[in-house]
Amino acid sequence: MSLPSPDKVPSHAAIIMDGNGRWARQRGLPRIEGHRRGVETVRKITEAGRELGLRTLTLYAFSVENWKRPPEEVSALMGLLEFYLQKELQTFVKNRIRLRTIGRTGELPPGVQKHLNHTIEATAGFTDYTLVLALNYGARTEVADAARDYAAAVAAGREPAGESSWAAFSRYLSTAGLPDPDLIIRTSGESRLSNFLMLQGAYAEFVFTPVHWPDFTKADLAAAFAEYARRERRYGLTSEQLAPPAK
């Protein structure tokens, strides 16, 4: 597995983990079995991300829209999440992985919240590598919440009235303090954002892979990084501006 030069490795990769259900259906298994295998992939890819040079890995684990799935699937997913958090705490501490969340986590079942808060506290001091779980996350909900909180801050005199800046507003998003994603990967062949990091991904590079999440490996992650390394990120400038010709 050859790696791109360090300056071409994304610092923050975000993954829309998709295809658990189809992975299971193709094998004649219940959807939840796909989610169970998906949790194994989360473990492996968390480790792989660090080995490949990431500083931040964000995983889209549950969207605000996912509550509309059959209740048995939702409760199975919440059960798996709680089990995962309980089991991973020691690994997070041992491997010095900081856990963070984005999304309306206050609406998750109390058991999940308890484990989340415990793990977040226990890993708060680690700075090298951060795993961000997007839980009950939706970009539109996030922006609406931020607008409400920003307006309240203006009303209370904590923010200047009549001004408008992304730097000030973005501090009210649930991603406050996190860098924007450099790379957004979606598995399972779908090419859509599904309400994920719509503003923070403004200049992210996108890689779509047909692999279903339970089958996604470190080699697939490295391949996405290699694709990222071939891209030229122009941020509105011209190629010539980015690499002025040698005189």
Which of 190, 75, 66 shows the shortest CA–CA distance to 136?
66
Q: Tell me how far apart the alpha carbons of residues 58 and 158 are, in angstroms, rounded to a whole number.
A: 30
Chain residues that interact with ligand IPE, rule: CB under 6 A: 16-22, 60-63, 66, 77, 188, 190, 192, 194
Q: State yes or no: is 66 an active-site residue.
A: yes
Asked whether position 18 contacts Mg ion by CB under 5 A, the answer is yes
Closer residue to ligand IPE (CB): 60 or 129: 60
Q: State yes or no: is 220 an active-site residue.
A: no
Closer residue to ligand IPE (CB): 75 or 241: 75
Find which of Mg ion, ligand IPE, none residue 61 binds, CB within 5 to 8 Å per kind.
ligand IPE
Phi-psi region of 209 (alpha: psi -120 to 50; beta: other; left: phi over 0): beta
Closer residue to ligand IPE (CB): 179 or 189: 189
Mark out the alpha helices in the chain (DSSP H runs).
20-26, 31-51, 71-94, 110-123, 139-155, 166-169, 218-230, 239-242
Query: By the 8 A CB rule, do 89 and 119 touch?
Result: yes
Which single residue brings its beta carbon nearest to ligand IPE?
21
What's 77's DSSP letter?
H
Closer residue to ligand IPE (CB): 63 or 130: 63
Distances in Å between the alpha carbon of 62 and those of 16, 77, 103, 182? 10, 9, 9, 21
Smallest separation (angstroms) from ligand IPE to the CB of 131: 15
Helix, strand, or coil here: 42? helix
Which single residue brings its beta carbon nearest to Mg ion?
18
| Of 18-26, 97-105, 220-228, 229-237: span binding Mg ion (CB under 5 A) | 18-26
Smallest separation (angstroms) from ligand IPE to the CB of 25: 7
Smallest separation (angstroms) from Mg ion to the CB of 65: 10
- Please identify which of the residues 7, 20, 66, 195 carries the catalytic annotation: 66
Q: In what order do the strands lie in the sheet with 56-63?
A: 97-102, 129-137, 56-63, 12-16, 183-186, 205-208
Binding region for Mg ion (CB under 5 A): 18
> Which residues are part of the catalytic machinery?
18, 66
